[in-house]
Amino acid sequence: MKIKEYRTQFIQELAPIYDVGEAENFFYLILEEKHKLKRIDLALQPDLVFSDDEIVVWNLILKQLKQEIPVQYLLGKTSFYGLEFEVNANVLIPRSETEELVDWILKSQKSKVESQKIRILDIGTGSGCIAIALAKNLPNATVFAIDVSENALATAKINAENNSVNVTFINQNILETEDLQQQFDIIVSNPPYVRHLEKEEIKKNVLDNEPHLALFVADNDALVFYKKIAELAQKNLSENGQLYFEINQYLGKETIDLLQKMNFATTELRKDIYGNDRMTKASVK
């Protein structure tokens, strides 16, 4: 079968579940991963064909996509801030909103001279995307990353190695931590923040496949991680140190109120590209 004919069939079969643009994007992601072909290759060579064996593989992937298994898990990888990351059911798939958080941190460091060493801690690192992107772009940084999941850390370690950066990974439950035992210039976290009452807003492919440990918090204690991490930041941030959070879009005011009540010197709330309250920055005195 010609590839362009299969593409039409592929998109039509996914259309009841995904919009056409998303289904088409899936097709080209898989085409590049499995066959090293890009959209332009298919445009220039419209008579390219799939073998019968290749059709079998594609039909299996199509079946899994119909079951709403994320395409990133099917391919075993995704991109984040220009880097490639291995992803699997033990880690959340990195989002573009988190790239914005990384970008905010990196821009805050532009005024620093390269010889000025900084220490960074990423709490709840998952795939390692935040820690690794910061380490890759800040050669003067010593980066540490904590996660409660050993399986997530195993994936993060592979990603650090694949991206040629040094990150010290620590298996630790942050809610049971009283002191981080060292000082940091930057602490960043994208902790669990989705309340169970918001489950109905979560897409089925996320709800059924991504780790709930990294997603959900109790409705009556939605800021439990923020409060704990902020308390640790007050003890373990260096002078003029900064604390960054990715947050629940519905709890921007509540998160800022929490930080202000804890007497951080400055606080800032930022929206993401979709116009949602998504990240905060606080600094110690």
* DSSP H or E stretch at residue 240: strand 237-246
pLDDT at 215 over 90: no
Burial of 51 (0-12, 13-18, 19+ CB in 10 A): exposed
Write the CA distances from 246 to 34, 71, 130, 252, integer angstroms: 34, 24, 11, 10
Contacts for 5-8 with beta carbons within 8 Å, 24 or more apart? 6/50, 6/55, 6/58, 7/42
Q: How far apart are CA 226 and CA 256, in angstroms?
A: 10
Q: How far apart are CA 131 and CA 128, in angstroms?
A: 5
Q: What is the pTM of this model?
A: 0.90
| 228-282 confidence digits (pLDDT tens) | 999 999 999 999 899 999 999 999 999 999 999 998 999 999 999 999 999 999 9
Mean pLDDT of the chain: 93
Beta bridge partners of 285: none
Write the CA distances from 194 to 149, 207, 216, integer angstroms: 18, 11, 5
Burial of 90 (0-12, 13-18, 19+ CB in 10 A): buried
Please give the span between the terminal C-alpha atoms of the chain, in angstroms, as a whole number. Answer: 66
pLDDT at 96 over 70: yes
Q: Please count the other Cβ atoms lying within 10 Å of the Cβ belonging to residue 52.
A: 7
User: Which of 187-214 are b and which e, b meaning 16 or more Cβ less than 10 Å from the residue's Cβ?
Assistant: bbbbbbbbbeebeeeeeebebebbbeeb
Tokens of 247: 């947050």
Q: How far apart are CA 7 and CA 11, in angstroms?
A: 6
Q: What's the CATH class of domain 90-283?
A: alpha beta
**Eight-class DSSP state of 181:** S
Q: How far apart are CA 150 and CA 170, in angstroms?
A: 9
Tokens of 228: 């704990």
Q: What percent of the chain has pLDDT over 70?
A: 99
pLDDT at 113 over 70: no
Q: What are phi and psi of 232, to 5 degrees?
A: -65, -40
**One-letter amino acid of 161:** E
Q: What are phi and psi of 146, to 5 degrees?
A: -115, 140
For the chain, give every domain's residue range: 3-67, 90-283
In this predicted structure, what is the pLDDT of residue 206?
77
In this predicted structure, what is the pLDDT of residue 115?
65
In this predicted structure, what is the pLDDT of residue 114?
66
